A = this chain, B = another copy of it.
């Protein structure tokens, strides 16, 4: 009878199986993820996240996730949801969390607590069209983690934290340039 190894809620056997499968067929490591956002009113937008492509094939989810985005009143909104740059900070914390927990599981490290506080500094003058001297996005992001493990040393946890930074998809997206191509289709205008 096979023993299922689950550590930190991660199925380590599945993780090892995934690594083996990708070694056999590298194309199964490729994904295209998607989000659709629809403007509702003012600064209020809604996002839908559902299907994605895995190795070029469509994978559906049982549920489509819906998110609400808005601004606080000082930025012309009504606090109906977090704003876009706050979502980026949450994404970094989520990414670090998944990376830390999965890699800990693979290394035999048990975790009992893991939390990230992520903050980012921004000057909205560029966004408001008032200056080009400051950048539009965050000038700096800080992520502070708190971790507790019953069976790892401080050194092991610090080394793991560095490894997770080096392999984090969202950290890479933020810290290094990603090409972004944007197109517009006008479906109705004053001349149509």
CB within 8 Å of B: which residues of A? 8-11, 14-15, 18-19, 22-23, 26, 29-39, 41-45, 47, 49, 52, 54, 59, 61-63, 65, 67, 69, 71-72, 74, 76, 79, 81-103, 111-130, 135-154, 157-158, 161, 163, 165-192
Known contacts A72-B61, A180-B175: A118-B189 contact under CB 8 Å: no
| Given A35-B118, A54-B74, CB of A88 within 8 Å of CB of B88 | yes
Chain B positions within 8 Å of A9 at CB level: 41-44
A117 to chain B, nearest CB (A): 5
Known contacts A74-B54, A93-B37, A120-B32; decide if A161 and B178 are in contact (CB<8 Å): no
Q: Tell whether, in the assembled complex, residue B99 and residue A95 are in contact, meaning their CB atoms are under 8 Å apart.
A: no
- Residues of chain B within 8 A of A154, CB atoms compared: 186, 189, 191-192
Whether the Cβ atoms of B96 and A182 lie closer than 8 Å is yes
Q: Give chain A's interface secondary structure class.
A: mixed
CA distance A163 to B151 in the complex (A): 53
A8 in contact with B42 (CB, 8 Å)? yes
CB-based contact A18/B136 at 8 Å: no
Apart from A31-B121, A135-B172, A150-B188: 14 A-B pairs, beta carbons within 8 A:
A30-B122, A35-B93, A47-B90, A49-B86, A52-B86, A65-B81, A83-B98, A85-B169, A143-B180, A148-B189, A152-B189, A171-B182, A175-B178, A175-B180
Give complex CA distance A168, B166 in Å. 27
Q: Are A181 and B142 closer than 8 Å at their CB atoms? A: yes
